[in-house]
């Protein structure tokens, strides 16, 4: 009985300290602030990058095309989204818009290797291996951009990604010092998968703003590499 009485007393005191209306106001304020932060981040990213979005046909020349990774199947075959990005990168290279391709993706475990699958696909479709450089530690869009600049020495680039990721990718690449524009794959059907990816990308806007403001160090930075320069110089 004494225990029950103590519990009731504690509940009464908590209710006195945090009246329901006050709690409701706090929750509403937190939700509103979160929505404003998210919507503000999305709006700022889209507005600030609007002049750097192109198609493969009208993209300006740059040193390299950075092709961002996406899902690779267990068979080693790129998903349709990734294959479309690789085709865009190949188009940019073959048209002379860029001098080399930097393929960046996840190789965080031995059984999963996006960059190697990307390279195999491009070589199979006629791209010379010498024109390809690989980044095995592109665990996020921000880390891919930061490593492209700090590790591979990229100063100007055409970023190649999904259409809905174009604004965020441009903002992140330019924030780390790359004179970047971007092209996005648009022909993919707007399926449930597409809509989920679109929503996830919008939610990532706040994280992107954090990365732009605070410039966290990538998971792996390492020594500077010459593979991009070598690929640019290759015939």
**Domain residue spans in the chain?**
1-49, 53-233
Please report, for residues 7, 12, 27, 73, the alpha-carbon distance to residue 19 in angstroms, rounded to integers and kept in the order given.
18, 10, 12, 53
Superfamily assignment of 53-233 in CATH?
A: HUPs (3.40.50.620)
- Would you give per-residue pLDDT tens digits along the chain (235 residues)? 455 555 455 556 555 555 666 766 777 766 655 666 667 678 789 889 999 999 999 999 999 999 999 999 999 999 999 999 999 999 999 999 999 999 999 999 989 999 999 999 999 999 999 999 999 999 999 999 999 999 999 999 999 999 999 999 999 999 999 999 999 987 666 677 778 877 788 778 888 989 999 999 999 988 999 999 999 999 9
The verdict on pTM exceeding 0.75 is yes
173 burial (CB, 10 Å; 0-12 / 13-18 / 19+) is buried
The SS3 call for residue 175 is helix
Taking Cα atoms as reference points, which of 130, 207, 141 lies closest to residue 174?
A: 141
């Amino acid at each position: 009985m004494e225990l029950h009485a103590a519990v009731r007393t504690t509940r009464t005191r908590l209710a006195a300290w945090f009246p329901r209306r006050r709690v409701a106001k706090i929750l509403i304020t937190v939700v509103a602030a979160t929505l404003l932060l998210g919507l503000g981040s999305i709006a700022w990213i889209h507005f600030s990058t609007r002049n750097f979005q192109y198609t493969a046909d009208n993209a300006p020349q740059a040193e390299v095309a950075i092709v961002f990774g996406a899902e690779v199947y267990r068979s080693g075959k790129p998903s349709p989204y990734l294959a479309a990005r690789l085709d865009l990168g190949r188009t940019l290279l073959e048209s002379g818009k860029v001098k080399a391709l930097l393929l960046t993706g996840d190789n965080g475990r031995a059984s999963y290797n996006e960059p190697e699958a990307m390279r195999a696909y491009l070589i199979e479709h006629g791209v010379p291996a010498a024109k390809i450089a690989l980044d095995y530690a592109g665990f996020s869009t921000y880390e891919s951009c930061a490593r492209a600049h700090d590790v591979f020495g990229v100063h100007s680039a055409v970023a190649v990604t999904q259409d809905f990721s174009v604004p965020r990718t441009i903002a992140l690449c330019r924030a780390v010092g790359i004179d970047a524009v971007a092209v996005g794959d648009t022909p993919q059907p707007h399926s449930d998968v597409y809509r989920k990816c679109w929503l996830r990308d919008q939610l990532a806007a706040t994280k992107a703003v954090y990365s732009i403001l605070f410039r966290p160090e990538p998971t792996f930075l390492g020594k500077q590499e010459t593979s991009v320069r070598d690929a640019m110089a290759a015939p």
